[in-house]
Structure 1
Amino acid sequence: MDRPEVSCVFVCHDGDGRVLLARRSAQARDEPGAWDCGAGALEFGETFEQAVTREVTEEYATPPLSIDLRGVRNVLRPGSHWVAIVFAVRLDPAAARIGEPHKFDELGWFPLDALPAPLHSQLPAALELFTA
């Protein structure tokens, strides 16, 4: 990668203090076994909201009830540079399920003070913007 890419990161919540996290499968691009929020690359011509709606629906098999911009951060990792735009996305907990089983092998709703382990290395920074 020779230039930054844009990622829409979404911390899904139920409106009652719980967040939805997915455990990354053995086939995940990085950090298999880690719990993470969702994210996906912005495609050419998409608005942020269109990208978030597409990605949330693909990953969790249900559309967002609301989408709120929470902040922006640089994600600099060896060999990559992403501009991460972080959103809070409200979902219906009863409707959410794994939509991409090749990426995730478990979903769970967690209060912020009782998150599972291990967490993806980038999740704490996303949660910081989510709770700001």
Structure 2
Amino acid sequence: MTRTPSVSVVFVCHDGAGRILLARRSTRARDEPGTWDCGAGALEFGETFEQAVAREVIEEYGTGPEKIELLGVRNVLRPGSHWVAIVFAVRLDPAEARIGEPHKFDELGWFDPAELPSPAHSQLPETVALFT
């Protein structure tokens, strides 16, 4: 069996004033339910990274990005999976953000990146470190 890495876009949404938007994963989330995380999604065939970010931000937070900036790349190795994560900072209008996928998330919150909520998703600290 040949296994290959998958590519995802990961986004740290912010308000332009220092706060980041995090979502608490619902009990029906694919992994790590109940943890706080930033947004992410798989790159689809034929999409640019920026198109994927815009699509995923709209799906997850119900509003489009005001600005998208590349932060870096992470190699995410977890049991049974390997993701190449392209990480972006995305500025949003905080008044427009809402839960767009209630089957995945049950709460949103704006946080200081130095004071992440608990429990945090296992990948969140390293991702936020690229933002700060």
C-alpha separation between the residues in 1 aligned to 2:116 and 2:93?
19
Where in structure 1 do 4 or more consecutive aligned residues deviate above 3 Å? Answer: none
**Unaligned regions of 5+ residues in structure 1, if any?**
none
1:14 equivalenced with 2:26 (yes/no): no
Normalised by the length of structure 2, the TM-score is 0.97
Normalised by the length of structure 1, the TM-score is 0.97
1:118 equivalenced with 2:122 (yes/no): no
Which amino acid is the alignment partner of residue 103 of structure 1? K
C-alpha separation between the residues in 2 aligned to 1:20 and 1:13?
6
**Deviation (angstroms), 1:129:** 1.1
- Per-residue CA distance 1:105-126 (angstroms, 9 max, x = gap): 0000011222210000000110
C-alpha separation between the residues in 2 aligned to 1:125 and 1:3?
23
C-alpha separation between the residues in 1 aligned to 2:122 and 2:44?
24
1:121-132 aligned within 5 A: 121-131=122-132
Residue in structure 2 matched with residue 64 of structure 1 by the alignment: 65
Q: Which has the higher mean CA deviation after the structures are superposed, 114-123 or 57-66?
A: 114-123
Q: How many percent identity over aligned positions? A: 78
1:87 equivalenced with 2:88 (yes/no): yes
RMSD of aligned alpha carbons: 0.9
Tell me the number of residue pairs that the alignment of Structure 1 and Structure 2 aligns: 131
C-alpha separation between the residues in 2 aligned to 1:39 and 1:113?
21
- Aligned to 2:20, what secondary structure does the other structure show? strand
C-alpha separation between the residues in 2 aligned to 1:52 and 1:130?
16
